[in-house]
């Protein structure tokens, strides 16, 4: 089973830490969406999309990458970190994936340290996250996704 995780992680690199743990656990490849705008994903059996939550939803870079690069009829999953609130989580990107007849395998989320906007004034939110428990949960999640697909 060949897997890849397409990741957009900015600010503190929270999502990148979670994705790296998943890749280490599963052997999945990682595509850095901030560096690569186009990729051939047709060779992958399972495709993950990962981003922090920005303004209560997946980063627009991840959504745009999925729109341009996800082939029809693929198995996908979503990973996201959030500082204050999940917002709508993966709802928007999941809807776009379904337009490509994707089979959604699940989603993983955890808190991530943020100093975005007004949170900077109070020293940030979710300090210390993702923590070791979050990382272990991420490893368990990807193991389950790979095992059950």
Q: How many domains does the chain have?
A: 1
Q: Would you give per-residue pLDDT tens digits along the chain (149 residues)?
A: 899 999 998 765 688 999 999 999 999 999 999 999 999 999 999 999 999 887 777 888 999 999 999 999 999 999 999 876 666 678 889 999 999 999 999 999 987 755 455 555 455 445 656 999 999 999 999 999 999 88
Q: How far apart are CA 111 and CA 97, in angstroms?
A: 24
User: Range of 113's domain?
Assistant: 3-147
CATH code for the domain in which residue 77 is found: 3.40.50.360
How much is the pLDDT for 126? 55
């Amino acid at each position: 089973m060949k897997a890849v995780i397409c990741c957009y992680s900015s600010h503190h690199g929270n999502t990148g830490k979670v994705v790296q743990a998943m890749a280490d656990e599963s052997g999945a490849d990682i595509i850095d969406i901030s560096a690569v705008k186009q990729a051939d994903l047709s060779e992958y059996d399972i495709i993950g999309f990962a981003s922090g939550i920005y303004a209560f939803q997946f980063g627009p870079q991840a959504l745009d990458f999925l729109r341009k690069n996800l082939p029809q009829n693929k198995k996908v999953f979503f990973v996201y970190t959030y500082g204050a609130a999940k917002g709508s989580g993966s709802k928007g990107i999941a809807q776009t994936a379904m337009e490509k007849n994707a089979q959604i395998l699940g989603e993983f989320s955890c808190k991530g340290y943020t100093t975005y906007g007004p949170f900077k004034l109070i020293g940030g939110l979710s300090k210390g996250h993702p923590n070791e428990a979050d990382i272990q949960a991420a490893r368990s999640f990807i193991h389950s996704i790979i095992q059950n697909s």
